[in-house]
């Protein structure tokens, strides 16, 4: 692909060189009022071409810059969305002291009353 691009530009450069050699004549251009500019025809044509191409070149560069920024932002968002979640509980180096007594220190629970049975609906006496 690089060869085709280089060949294209070489053909354009050779054609431009032949055009310039065949048309290297002075041209008088009237600018404003009595202001007159005398230049060679190839210089005038190449200058007019470059001046006309300038707005499109600036627009293409601005679009390329804007799209590159959007792509970079999207890539950063994708990396952030697919990154492994970090643990939310902080790890503390100090031991955690609980205010609640341990099961071995607690007083024994009282015996639960048995449930009423169909023969004794009020439960034990």
pTM: predicted TM-score of the whole model, two decimal places: 0.52
Dihedral of the alpha carbons of 25, 56, 1, 67, in degrees to the nearest 10: 160
Q: What is the pLDDT of residues 72-112, one digit of tens each?
A: 999 999 998 888 666 676 666 666 666 665 555 556 666 66
Tell me how far CA of residue 52 lies from CA of 11, 56, 58, in angstroms. Answer: 22, 8, 11
10 Å Cβ neighbour count for 101? 9
User: What pLDDT score does 1 carry?
Assistant: 86
**H/E element, 118:** none
pLDDT of 26 > 70? The answer is: yes
* pLDDT tier, 62 (very low <50, low <70, confident <90, very high otherwise): very high
Asked if residues 27 and 47 have their Cβ atoms less than 8 Å apart, the reply is no
**H/E element, 106:** none
Cα–Cα nearest to 40, from 19, 54, 23? 23
Mean pLDDT of 21-31: 88
């Amino acid at each position: 692909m690089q060869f085709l691009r280089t060949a294209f530009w070489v053909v354009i450069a050779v054609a431009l060189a032949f055009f310039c050699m065949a048309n290297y004549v002075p041209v008088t251009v009237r600018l404003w009022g009595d202001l007159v500019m005398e230049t060679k025809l190839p210089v005038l044509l190449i200058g007019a071409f470059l001046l006309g191409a300038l707005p499109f070149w600036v627009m293409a560069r601005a679009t390329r810059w804007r799209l590159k920024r959007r792509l970079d932002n999207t890539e950063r968002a994708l990396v952030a969305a697919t990154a492994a979640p970090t643990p939310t509980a902080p790890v503390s180096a100090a031991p955690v002291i609980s205010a609640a007594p341990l099961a071995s220190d607690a007083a024994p629970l009282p015996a639960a009353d048995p449930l009423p049975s169909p023969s004794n609906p009020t439960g034990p006496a």
